[in-house]
Amino acid sequence: MQPKTIIAAVIVIVFIIFGATSFLESNLEYTDVTGAMKTHKKVQLKGLWNRDKEAKFDPKTSQFTFYLLDDNGKECKVVLDGAAPNNFEIATSVVVKGRYMEEGYFHATEVLTKCPSKYEAQADEIKRSV
């Protein structure tokens, strides 16, 4: 075999391995708080921000902390490295990506918020008028 062919094959194999690894890391399963406690893999939790408990940003550690209620009503503390995401205060639901730590909290690497749509009110008005 020619050296150019071998080098090209090695490069293609490296890119395939890199692509597969990146895909597997970004493909996170949704679970609830109980499922996140059982597995220590990176997962996604969907739920609501528990507004009854304090949400705060600690400038000393650069961490934002809040409490999340999953769809089953189970609560967990969420710690995010960084500030609160935009529109966090008006979010209707929250998705956190990360892993549950042995210390008893969910360490989030990313927090996504779902905010109320300005079109939802218009759709309700249209339904009532029909």
Mean pLDDT of 110-118: 82
Is the backbone of residue 71 left (phi > 0), alpha (psi -120 to 50) or beta? alpha
Give the Cβ contact number of residue 113 at 10 Å. Answer: 17
* Domains of the chain, first to last: 29-129 (2.40.50.140)
Mean pLDDT of 62-80: 93
DSSP one-letter string for 81-104: ESSPPTTGGG-SEEEEEEEE-TTS
E strand map for 1-130: 30-31, 43-49, 56-58, 63-70, 75-81, 93-100, 106-114
Higher pLDDT, 79 or 114: 79
Q: For position 27, what pLDDT does the model report? A: 62
CB of 39 closer than 8 Å to CB of 68:
no
Residue 114: φ, ψ to 5°:
-110, 120
Residue 66 has what DSSP assignment?
E
For the chain, what is the mean pLDDT? Answer: 85
